[in-house]
Structure 1
Amino acid sequence: MPAYLASLNPGWLLIVAGVIALFVKVRVVRQAISIIAPVIGILMLATAQHGVDHMTYETLGIKLSFYRVDSLNFLFGLAFLIAALLNAIYALHTDNKTQDGMALAYAGSAIAATFAGDLMTLFIFWEITAITSVFMVLQAGTRASYFASMRYLGIQILSGVLLLDGIAYVWHYQGDLSLQAFSDLNQPGALIIFIAFGIKAAFPFLHNWLQDAYPKATVTGAVVLSAFTTKLAVYAFARLFPGQHELIWIGAVMTCFPVFFAVIENDLRKVLAYSTNNQVGFMICAIGVGTPLALNGAVAHAFADILFKGLLFMSMGAVLYRTGTTKANELGGLYRSMPWTTLFCLVGAISISAMPLFSAFVTKSMILSSVASTGMVVVWLMLMFASAGVLEHSGIKIPYFAFFGHDSGKRVKEAPFNMLLAMGMAAFLCIAIGLPAFLPGFGYEWLYSLLPYPIEAASYQPFTLGHILAQLQLLALAVFAFVLLQRLGLYPPEKPGVILDTDWLYRKAGYGTARWIDTVWAKLGPAMTATFRTLSERAYDRLVDTFSPRGVLARNGVSGGMAVWTTVILGVVLLVSYLTS
């Protein structure tokens, strides 16, 4: 790898490749670009020098650092590059220039933001992620996807505007835009930046853009979206707000509330959208704890989540591609005709459920252990409840109602080979990083070796009897509850419907306000318009009558006298100024 490439932000490479892909008409060439760019990006990152600012520029007194790799952002960048590669392979069966190009540019902007060395550079690529990602929803081409994409874009732009506002406060009061962690939310600009990050992380009451947009995205678009936006926000919180106590409770609530919505939701891609809230909540809670073990857990779990959540979205995308739906009441029995997709979905489901020997077991256990060490029993119990809920809605519900359950009678082809290849690669990684180190450099120890803080074998081990038994008991209890509720007919039935979320409050209020304004304007508008027109015409006539060449001032000799006296006064003022200078 040439030295100049090792000092170049790989995100820039993907952005340029994405722009080129937008204009390449030959499908094979475009797809080759989409695959080769992430591979080169991984090589560039592997050879990058850590702790050094590359691509630095200064403008308007602001020092910009476009590429800085350290122990915190390395794993995020690596996960984003792997996701970009898997997404490109998954999309090989499509022929959509806009989607291919924007997906690559979206991944590149998230990577570039992750390796930004200052707040202004972070903001620039933060906004590019918003603009490029909206095409993942818009390209679905439906009326629902259009309105969802516009709402999504508005929310993402709002996040960027708040981030810029907070940066302005930081620059004004500190004169420095380096990525220094805030000690508390009372620092100038800290709270505004906190809210900006919270929007992108889908905090409670700020989360509805996620459930609104992801299920309406294209087959490939939902997979792409699942990897970058919320994980970029997780990185930003880990960088600027580690140990912020408020994040503990926010994260704990994030893990719990999606469980109730996901269990009753009929659209399985929307279930996965709620699951995204749930998993990000674990990461946010760990960042709030702020200990080395907790931050390691947040970073490791983000890495694992990008893989297993992407795998689950891939499997549901394959189902949507072949059957035209991901509604649970319309699916079932697909294991007969889509056996490989079923297998890969089960791997993703077991991984997200933190089954021993799968990825989330070695990452989530760090988070649970770090929370337990704080003595916050209520928070720990909330996370344990949420862990059981994950198995209910993502570990059991997704594969059960899609591939098993009642037989829908659908007999379709297996997913295209490229889809299976991408799912197989993701499934392999989900298993590989969850295994003990049977071979040198293989298993969870590889992941642990790349974490921000060193983990000594004597201080923490995931494969202890206590960890294994506790997790197996939790999973067994969740499975028993699901089976019992199914047998008793108490499990929420899968049926069409609209699940009201908290966005109903402001969307209902906003719609009602708009209707009221429209009604009032319909009644008062014509009269107000006529009144304004009459008053403006009278004012215009009065001005013409006064100031025109034939107006009152021109007919009166006073105007000439006033001009003479104005000249005299001006001369006196100039004379006095000259004599006293």
Structure 2
Amino acid sequence: MLDVFPPFLVYFLGAALLPLVPKGHLRSALSLLVPAIGGWLIWTMPTGVHDVVQLMGVDLTLIRHDKLAAVFALIFSLAAFTSLLYACHVRDTVQTIATLLYAGSAIGAVFAGDLITLFLFWEGTAIASVFLIWARQTEGAYHSGMRYLIFQVTSGVILLAGAALFWRETGTMAFERMTLGSPATWLIFLAFGIKCAFPLLHTWLTDAYPSATVTGSVVLSIFTTKLAIYALARGFAGTETLIYIGAVMALFPIFYGMVENDLRRVLSYSLIGQLGFLVVGVGIGTDLALNGVAAHAVASVLYKSLLFMSVGAVLYRTGTAKATELGGLYRTMPLTALMCLVGAATISAVPLFASFATKSMILSAAGYKGYEGAWLVLIIAAAATVVYTGVKVPYCAFFGADSGKRPKEAPWNMLGGMAITAGFCIAIGIWPQTFFAFLPYDVDYAVYTTSHVVTQLQLVAFSMLAFFLLLRVGLYPLATGSVTLDADWIYRRLLPGVIGAIANVVSALWTRGADIQQRWVHALILRLYKTHGPEGRVARVVPTGSMVQWVAILLGVMLIVTFVS
């Protein structure tokens, strides 16, 4: 008997019922009702451990509800609602079902209290989400989806292996805080790192997200990586290694974001950079830092999905998201441009927007704990984010050189999804203390201090000035139609080339060896033929007298040997 009704079941039931409902407004209403009910169940759920079942002697905790889980589950529910509203014009049942299963699996993983339950939902997110890429129905999307699925399933397999070793080492499957002291925890850490897009493990994100459908990229930007952040915060808070990993994640996307032409790929790199802030916060591990992680994860879901929505609306109306083919769209898409500006202001941490309140908590935690190097890296990354995302994306899409395109404004449902998301970006920025009440730990943190406001305004202003000055003098890296090499070049080009060269060498050696062997066998057969063939020495007729002579000789030899011995 269930103690509480698991919220993820609402999503699974909704996905099962959806094909039975006639297409049109009724089906759209059902898809929106599902996250609304799921969110209400999470909001009213009592704190504590619920729904523990036993499987082959192992306790599986389906629901472990605390404030950390609640924050992530609630933002997942809200984001599922806004993304489904944004996608109401899409008459593709597969995408809607995939979105519901994806969101339900992510929420189920958030509430998982043991590693086996986490693994099941972990793989559920992988299998459901890949259909949002394949739904684009292009050859490129198919191959991107396959590469994405390989990474995601590999993460799950590694997680399962780590869970098995963890059970053998500790005798428990409880998903609690761990340390990197055994092969089991290192495997679990690696599994989380793949989904979190750690450096060199990140290429699935920048490959798959721009390859998805217009609405699919919005949904993808919400769940997978934020689930990984939650898993790290739950399992590895305070692990100092994460500080260095996060610092690298915050820095390396800067170059790619500046030179990339596809605006959805720019946002994908920017997403990795923002994950770097969260990973650093998890590595610091203090109450303030973890509050900052939870808060900034919420803000990141909001502003990143809003930016993907606005660029997706441009792609939907114009058929392209390339910076070199856009510009001047504010004339006919003013509301979409306004929503994009809200997302840009939020990711840039402009005062009165959500990220101003949330990002500063991680920076303050780094300063309080004496991680000056990490603090400096994050400041540089924050300034660069303003340049390559906060200014570049709206400028190239809406306010740059006029492309001559005059598309219609985005559909009402797209604008509705963007408006709700933008409203939360502004509300959190204006009333941060109300939002902070939902965070995991009780920490007194003042956001709107004079020094903080002035410092952040200066950072944003100088970053914007740097962008336009570099653009004016021609020093800003211009986006081109060329392909930017990333770490995936190693396994998509270098390794196949190396393996192909090795295969050619081995094939040549094998052919040469086979040729030598064939010649040797042929010579041996010829020699045997000469000896034993019809005309050979053994087969030819020998005179009787000669044979008697040889018998006599052999007999004499035997007599001599016998006499000597």
- Whichever residue aligns with residue 404 of structure 2, its letter is G
Q: How far off is 1:516 after superposition? A: 3.5
Q: Which residue of 2 aligns with 1:493?
A: 478
- Which whole-Å CA distance do the structure 1 matches of 2:514 and 2:197 have between them? 43
- Which whole-Å CA distance do the structure 1 matches of 2:202 and 2:383 have between them? 22
- The count of aligned residue pairs is 518
Q: Alpha-carbon deviations, 1:180-235, whole Å to 9, x = none?
A: 211x2113511110010000000011101000000010000000000000000000
- 1:23, 1:97 within 8 Å by CA — same for their partners in 2? no
- 1:173, 1:188 within 8 Å by CA — same for their partners in 2? no
Q: Which residue of 2 aligns with 1:215?
A: 210
Q: Which residue of 2 aligns with 1:561?
A: none
Alignment of 1:506-525 (within 5 A): 506-516=491-501, 519=504
- One of 446, 452, 461 as aligned partner of 2:440: 452
- One of 77, 80, 83 as aligned partner of 1:81: 77
Answering whether residue 270 of structure 2 is matched by residue 282 of structure 1, we say no
Partner SS for 2:429: coil
- Whichever residue aligns with residue 409 of structure 2, its letter is E
Q: Which residue of 2 aligns with 1:106?
A: 102
Partner SS for 2:60: strand
- 2:3, 2:51 within 8 Å by CA — same for their partners in 1? no
Q: Which residue of 1 aligns with 2:455?
A: 470
Partner SS for 1:407: coil
- Which whole-Å CA distance do the structure 2 matches of 1:120 and 1:528 have between them? 52
- Which whole-Å CA distance do the structure 2 matches of 1:379 and 1:111 have between them? 31
If the length of structure 1 is used for normalisation, what is the TM-score?
0.86
Structure 1 unmatched ranges of 5 or more: 436-442, 532-581
- Whichever residue aligns with residue 169 of structure 1, its letter is L
Instruction: Decide which moves more: 132-141 or 24-33.
Output: 24-33
In the superposition, relative to structure 1, how do residues 464 and 171 fare at CA in structure 2: closer, same or farther (>3 Å)? same
- One of 35, 42, 58 as aligned partner of 1:45: 42
- 1:65, 1:117 within 8 Å by CA — same for their partners in 2? yes
Q: Alpha-carbon deviations, 1:64-110, whole Å to 9, x = none?
A: 11112101111000000001100110001110010010111101100
Alignment RMSD: 2.0
- One of 28, 31, 36 as aligned partner of 2:33: 36
- Which whole-Å CA distance do the structure 1 matches of 2:396 and 2:107 have between them? 35
Partner SS for 2:124: helix
Determine which structure has more spread, i.e. the larger CA radius of gyration.
2
Alignment of 1:240-251 (within 5 A): 240-251=235-246
Percent of counterpart pairs with the same letter?
49
Q: Which residue of 2 aligns with 1:271?
A: 266
- One of 231, 247, 252 as aligned partner of 1:252: 247
Q: Which residue of 2 aligns with 1:502?
A: 487
- One of 162, 166, 170 as aligned partner of 1:166: 162
- Whichever residue aligns with residue 13 of structure 2, its letter is V
- One of 383, 389, 411 as aligned partner of 1:388: 383
Answering whether residue 57 of structure 2 is matched by residue 61 of structure 1, we say yes
Q: Which residue of 2 aligns with 1:570?
A: none
Answering whether residue 180 of structure 2 is matched by residue 185 of structure 1, we say yes
Q: Which residue of 2 aligns with 1:427?
A: 422
- 2:323, 2:397 within 8 Å by CA — same for their partners in 1? yes
Partner SS for 2:223: helix
Q: How far off is 1:513 after superposition? A: 3.9
Instruction: Decide which moves more: 18-27 or 224-233.
Output: 18-27
- 2:3, 2:50 within 8 Å by CA — same for their partners in 1? no
Partner SS for 2:63: strand
Q: How far off is 1:447 after superposition? A: 1.3
Answering whether residue 393 of structure 2 is matched by residue 398 of structure 1, we say yes
- Whichever residue aligns with residue 102 of structure 1, its letter is A
Q: Alpha-carbon deviations, 1:296-344, whole Å to 9, x = none?
A: 0000000111011000000010000000000000000000010000000
Partner SS for 2:172: coil
Q: How far off is 1:510 after superposition? A: 2.4
Instruction: Decide which moves more: 72-81 or 29-38.
Output: 29-38
Q: Which residue of 1 aligns with 2:535?
A: none
- Which whole-Å CA distance do the structure 2 matches of 1:514 and 1:137 have between them? 29
Structure 2 unmatched ranges of 5 or more: 518-565
Q: How far off is 1:494 after superposition? A: 2.1
Q: Which runs of 4+ in 1 moved over 3 A?
A: 22-25, 516-531
Partner SS for 1:178: coil
Q: Which residue of 1 aligns with 2:469?
A: 484
Q: Alpha-carbon deviations, 1:334-359, whole Å to 9, x = none?
A: 00010000000000000010000000
Instruction: Decide which moves more: 26-35 or 232-241.
Output: 26-35
Answering whether residue 23 of structure 2 is matched by residue 26 of structure 1, we say yes
In the superposition, relative to structure 1, how do residues 5 and 471 fare at CA in structure 2: closer, same or farther (>3 Å)? farther
If the length of structure 2 is used for normalisation, what is the TM-score?
0.89
Q: Which residue of 1 aligns with 2:127?
A: 131
Q: How far off is 1:8 after superposition? A: 1.6
Partner SS for 2:481: coil
- One of 68, 71, 77 as aligned partner of 2:67: 71
